[in-house]
Structure 1
Amino acid sequence: MPRRTLSLLLVTVAAGAASPAASAATRPLHFTATSRVWPGVVFRAFTAAGAKGPIRGHLLDVDLREPRVTVGLLHPPVVAARRPVSRMADAQHAVAGVNGDFFNIRERHRGVPATGAAVGPEMADGRALKAAVPEGQRFGPRRPFGATTEEVIGVGADRVGRMTTLRLDGTVTVRGPLAPPAAPPVAGPPKGPEPPEDDLDDDLDDDADEADDSALRARRPRRRHAARRARDGRLSIPLRGLNQYALPVGGVGLFTSHWGSASRRRAVCGTDTVRRAACSTDTAEVTVRRGVVTRTATAVGGGTIPPGTTVLAGREAGADVLRRLRPGDHVSVAYGLTGPARLRFAVGGFAILRGGAPLPGLDAVTRAARTAAGVSANGRHLYLVVVDGRSPAGRGATLADLARLLRRAGAQDAMDLDGGGSSTLVLRTPGEPAVSVRNSPSAGAERAVANGVGVFVRGEPGRARRVRH
């Protein structure tokens, strides 16, 4: 039986003089240096021709036939938090890593703080940490047609890399009689979003979809049925969110101790199509402790959620259902992330290469710092790419260039991850006490990010010291 291999490509790219796109797309990578840094881990430098000029980078090849090598999610202690990639890598004892998904970096709703939570699903060690926000609530550059917030790239227990989708499948079951429907809270007109403000980073990495927002129509929330009565008399409420900064209109979401202490208010702001739409005033929140409702409220709150406790937040039709719950009611919750494949770890992004072909409509003009990930046709290779922008090392790359680079490296499917000031590559070699940043971040220093992809070598010598998050 053939042994399976996983290779990781960590690339720092510099764009220079122009060259024809057709020629650049077919030229192979040229390796200029090779170094075996860990058992099963080979580090290489390479050059390549891009449509906008020469590309220089580095390749980290990880062989999963070496049983000590694994790949996993780098993440802060909780979902609603951010940390630099180097800090997460050292805390989790990774030998290398790159930044991951786009995230809620800023807020333009008055009085609502940014959560720092990622857009797409997260899985770590087989556990579902969060689900995807609605399509209209995402951050990031303009994407090709057909991309969704549920897309992920990850590795399964079979040590095969895949680009696939993960969807939340969850239900809240309420046993016993319910109180009669309560009237929605009386409130004044909702406050609109803050006036536009200057971006923190003009690399188009985390707010370039504002043009898309303005082109979408704000839809009046419809009061859909948010629950159904089962034959045995129990009320079944479908979950529409898990530890995410935005809930679908009319939905009910679940927050666990993995969320952290950040305010949950952002979850009821915006709509399924317009991120900047006003926050809903038709909301409800229910706290459940070991299967029993302990508290109900009409406003969505914040604060640390203890282990064994969950918080249900609802808006519009979802709030209607939650307002029927009372302290003492018995509630059970079941949820998971489901998809075509079982993954041990997963991180979100959006597809730029599928079936060996770049997706139609990729930006071929705008150069910026980028991070991307791809997998080979047999799933034995995972490629992670970091492209520098606004630095002496390079002026960035377009999404079209990025897709071609991944294809030339051997990827069959690939997705774009967060870029701009977030793009970071870290690595440590034997004898070094901690990882160091190997690319040139756009802002001159690391940005704190929502998550990342880490490479781990169990039992390696010179193990990094334990670093607290």
Structure 2
Amino acid sequence: MSRRTLVGLAMAAALTVTVAVPATAEEVSAPFPSTRFPLGERGLPAKTHKSVGGGIDLYSVATGTANDGYTVTVLMPSGRDYGRRETAEAKAAEVEAAGQTASVQRVVRPAVSDDPSEEIFMVRVGLWPLKDKDKAVKAAKELSDAGVKARADYLGDDGVKTTGPWQMQVLTVDPRRFKGSYAASLGTSVAKRETTSSMAGARKAIAAVNGGFFNIHTSPALRGEPVGISVVGGRLLSEAVPGRSAVVLKGRTARITELTTKMSAISQDGTRLDINGVNRLGTTDELILYTEEYGAKTPANGGAEAVLDASGKVIALRTAGGAVPKGARILHGAGAAADWLWEHAWEKWSVTVDTKVIDERTGRRIALTPDVSVIGGGVGLIRNGRIKVTAKRDGHDSVNMILRRHPRTLLGVTRSGGLVLATVDGRKPGITVGANMIEAAQLMKWLGAVQAINLDGGGSTAMVVGGKVVNQPSDGGERAVGDALLVLP
């Protein structure tokens, strides 16, 4: 049988009517775009508005129509759903040998500001309308039973052209009327994950969204650890991935920039050693700082630990492994770092922990005062009013992260200094498709952001207002996450 190129899908589906709601007098004071939605059919979205109070407004936005259906995707030898042309052609031949007709689809992962476009190829079998998902699942099973690994896929997730639909929650904070403050929270400890609503409730926050990415590749008991920088109440609780995007919160201001941390331990004998990380597992020869917020025992790996009091005095020098005493910090070393501690961190000596957080846009050090918090982001989206997706620098330049649609949590700052928090729900075929990275940037520009950043998304995406989750988490319920951004009274 011959193979053909699959170029798109247009299927009949029930029409979703989108009605533009006229602005009320109350809404006029709350900034919201009056222009057409930037994605899909680009109509005026339906929206509802709620004044949360004190310059804070919540909008529920819905737009688009469900025209995407299902197909079967054949997996490549790597386990991915795409590959090079020759790999895709070989897989298509396997499908035809199994008695099915294969389509080879060419897809271009769009270029971002720091990474060129990428051409990929997918192998697809069949097209079914949204209501016939079961038929796609059955076809995928038949192929897998024939020795060709495959799965049923919703085409709205692909990241190519779609009509939606989309459901969003948008929280805007007017700096002229808002009298509260912003803060970050890691919950009860760095190691433990908690829900956004739990962290919001503990601080009696007006609103909150989930924060940055957390480490799913460490011990299950430690997976609250942020991937990248975290500062809470002026205390550095996780080091930066050098140069990655982050949001700096101070009082009622928010600023997006790129950060680097530099830390060192300085013994009273004048010797110095770089500190490699904060509140995470270390590797051989690394020196790690643990704070009382860690919430777990330090690794018992045969290394050494210097327990420091609040003044930097060494109150104990011990073999590694144990709790962090309240009001203390621990310098933990393995290998060469352990040797340094045994030689230069004797009991009753003083060891200074020198901590610098550098703003790479200004080259200046950020003063870690009690009103400062920092949340690490996933990818920068907008810089100085222009879309600038820094996926490669920020460690998310894969096809899955740039092109595929997922639920998103987005943060932006307007020209007047206002804050825009948005959640785009996804992974709900026929209800809401989410957004890819380029679409996320387009949405934030539409919402008036001149600086914007992507936070953690997927099943982590959550917005809490008045103690309630107002979006639809894709896991079916709220996921425990590493940290959260809080809007406080």
Task: Report TM bin, short chain.
Answer: 0.5 to 0.7
Match of 2:453 among 415, 418, 423: 415
Q: Is residue 2:348 matched to residue 1:318?
A: no
Which residue of the other structure, out of 252, 271, 293, is the alignment partner of 1:235? 271
Equivalences for 1:155-194 in 2 at 5 Å? 155-157=249-251, 159-176=252-269
Matched, 1:331 2:351: yes
Q: Name the CA distance, whole Å, in 1 between partners of 2:472 and 2:294.
A: 31
CA distance in 2, matches of 1:382, 1:420: 22
| Unmatched segments (≥5 aa) in structure 1 | 1-5, 10-20, 136-147, 177-233, 267-280, 429-434, 458-469
CA RMSD of aligned residues (A): 3.3
C-alpha contact 1:64 1:70 (8 A) present in aligned 2: no
Within a 5 Å distance, the mapping from 1:243-258 to structure 2 comes to: 243=279, 245-247=280-282, 250-258=285-293
Contact 1:98/1:452 (CA < 8 Å) preserved in 2?
yes
CA contact (8 A) 2:426 2:474 kept: yes
Inter-partner Cα distance in structure 1 for 2:405 and 2:247: 23
2:236 equivalent in structure 1: 129
Are 1:404 and 2:442 matched, yes or no? yes
1:119 aligned residue: 227
Match of 1:265, SS?
coil
User: Helix, strand or coil for the counterpart of 2:339?
Assistant: helix
* Cα pair 1:131 1:337 within 8 Å, conserved: no
1:39 lines up with 2:39 in the alignment = no
* Residue 302 (structure 1) aligned with residue 322 (structure 2): yes
Q: 1:359 aligns with which of 361, 371, 389?
A: 389
Cα drift, residue 60 of structure 1: 1.9
Q: State TM-score, norm by structure 1.
A: 0.64
1:373-418 CA deviation, whole Å, 9 max, x = no partner? Answer: 2223x36132222222334642332222212211221223322211
Stretch deviating more after TM superposition (391-400 or 412-421): 391-400
Query: CA, structure 1 residues 48+250, in 2 after alignment: closer, same or farther (shift >3 Å)?
Result: farther
Structure with the bigger percentage of strand: 2
SS class of match (2:340): helix
* Corresponding residue for residue 286 of structure 1: 306
Q: Distance in 1 between matches of 2:319 and 2:31?
A: 48
| Deviation readout 1:429-469 (Å, 9 max, x if unpaired) | xxxxxx11111222222111111111122xxxxxxxxxxxx
Note the alpha carbon deviations across 1:184-203, whole angstroms, 9 max, x for none. xxxxxxxxxxxxxxxxxxxx
Identify the residue that residue 72 of structure 1 maps to in structure 2: 183
Number of aligned positions between the proteins:
340
Secondary structure of the residue aligned to 1:326 is: coil
Q: Is residue 254–residue 413 contact of structure 2 (8 Å, CA) maintained in 1?
A: yes
* 8 Å CA contact retained: 2:382, 2:449: no
CA contact (8 A) 1:128 1:336 kept: no
The structure-2 alpha-carbon separation of the partners of 1:346 and 1:27, relative to structure 1 and needing over 3 Å to count, comes to farther
Distance verdict in 2 for CA 1:114–1:37, change over 3 Å: closer
Cα gap change, 1:370 to 1:248, in 2 (>3 Å): farther
Partners in 2 of 1:411 and 1:265 — Cα distance?
Answer: 43
Mapped to 2, the partners of 1:242 and 1:419 lie a distance apart of: 24
Deviation at 1:372, TM superposition (A): 2.1
Query: Which of 246, 258, 266 is the aligned partner of 1:152?
Result: 246
User: SS of the counterpart of 1:285?
Assistant: strand
Tell me the distance in 2 between the aligned counterparts of 1:337 and 1:372: 23
Q: Equivalent residue of 2:439, what SS? A: helix
Secondary structure of the corresponding residue to residue 480 of structure 2? coil
Aligned to 2:408: 370
Work out whether residues 422 and 441 of structure 1, in 8 Å CA contact, stay in contact via their aligned partners in 2.
yes
C-alpha change, 1:379 and 1:287, in structure 2 (3 Å) is farther
Larger Rg: 2
How far apart are 1:165 and its partner, in Å?
Answer: 2.6
8 A contact 1:131–1:168 mirrored in 2: no
Distance change in 2, residues 1:416/1:249 (3 Å): farther
Shift of 1:364: 4.8
Can you list the C-alpha shifts for 1:83-134, whole angstroms capped at 9, x where unaligned?
A: 11111111101111110011123536xxx84342111222234x1232336x
For residues 43-73 of structure 1, the C-alpha deviation after alignment (integer angstroms, 9 at most, x for no partner) is: 2233456953232323222222225232221
Deviates more, 1:364-373 or 1:79-88: 364-373
The CA deviation at 1:249 is 6.3
Change (3 A) 1:358 1:174: closer
Query: Do the aligned partners of residues 408 and 312 (structure 1) sit closer, same or farther apart at CA in structure 2, a change above 3 Å counting?
Result: same
- CA displacement at 1:31 relative to structure 2: 5.5
What is residue 373 of structure 2 aligned with on the other side?
345
Query: Conserved in 2, the CA contact under 8 Å of 1:149 and 1:348?
Result: no
- Quote the residue 2:294 is aligned against: 259
Percent identity between matched residues is: 28
TM-score, structure 2 length as denominator?
A: 0.61
Question: What is the match of residue 197 of structure 2?
Answer: 86
Conservation of the 8 A alpha-carbon contact between 2:413 and 2:450 = yes
Alpha-carbon distance in 2 for matches of 1:285, 1:131? 19
Question: What corresponds to 1:18 in structure 2?
Answer: none
The superposition leaves residues 283-302 of structure 1 with CA deviations (integer Å, 9 ceiling, x where unpaired) of 43222235333333453x23
Matched letter for residue 131 of structure 1: S
Q: Which has the higher helix share?
A: 2
